[in-house]
Amino acid sequence: MRATVLVRPKPGILDPQGEAVLGSLQQLGFAVDDARVGRVVDLELDEGDREQTRAELERMCEQLLANPLIESYEIELVEDA
Amino acid sequence: MRATVLVRPKPGILDPQGEAVLGSLQQLGFAVDDARVGRVVDLELDEGDREQTRAELERMCEQLLANPLIESYEIELVEDA
């Protein structure tokens, strides 16, 4: 089973990487009003119960993948074809 | 108009960050077989023609957001509600 976890800086939290990207894009002439940069983590997991796997992924996010104080996360489960 | 760009290391390309995440997750006792880490870039753009915006986003990826030699990118356009 594959999972994709998106980790983003929460609204209002300073995002220096996003500011740098925004500045560079504008300098290159692109019409961009805002940019925020986060992480995407693709995971390969053992096949298992969908709900259990989602709970496990939430624990991974809380413990390691995200900093829940300043980052939000979004979990997408992809069944293998 | 909002856009989400996912930038990932191409298959076969070394991903030290992914290896570190994989090792840490396994050490924490999680049953994970592989982990790859990339970036998610959320952009706020001026309202405009969908096809033109997508072409513009591809230029941003080629010029700044991704390194096309070692990274692949995926563009998702989100119409404002």
The interface predicted TM-score of the complex, written ipTM, equals 0.93
pLDDT-derived band at B67 (thresholds 50, 70, 90) equals: very high
pLDDT on residue A80: 66
Structural domain of A56: 2-78
Nearest-CB residue to B64 (from A25, A33, A65): A25
pLDDT on residue B79: 75
Nearest chain B alpha carbon to A26: B60
Closest CA to A73 of A43, A30, A48: A43
| Residue B63, domain CATH | 3.30.1280.10
Show residues of chain B in contact with A36, CB under 8 Å.
Answer: 41-42
Judge whether B37 and B17 are in contact, CB under 8 Å.
yes
Please, is B71 exposed, middle or buried when counting C-beta atoms within 10 Å of its C-beta (0-12, 13-18, 19+)? middle
pLDDT-derived band at B11 (thresholds 50, 70, 90) equals: very high
% chain B with pLDDT above 90 = 91
The neighbouring-strand residues paired with A36 are B42
In this structure, what token pair is assigned to residue B76? Answer: 């998702």
Q: Report the number of distinct structural domains present in chain A.
A: 1
pLDDT on residue B54: 96
Please, is A25 exposed, middle or buried when counting C-beta atoms within 10 Å of its C-beta (0-12, 13-18, 19+)? buried
Closest CA to B6 of A76, A58, A61, A80: A76
Compute the count of residue pairs across chains A and B with CB atoms less than 8 Å apart: 94
pLDDT on residue B31: 94
* Tens digits of residue pLDDT in A19-72: 999 999 999 999 999 999 999 999 999 888 999 999 999 999 999 999 999 999
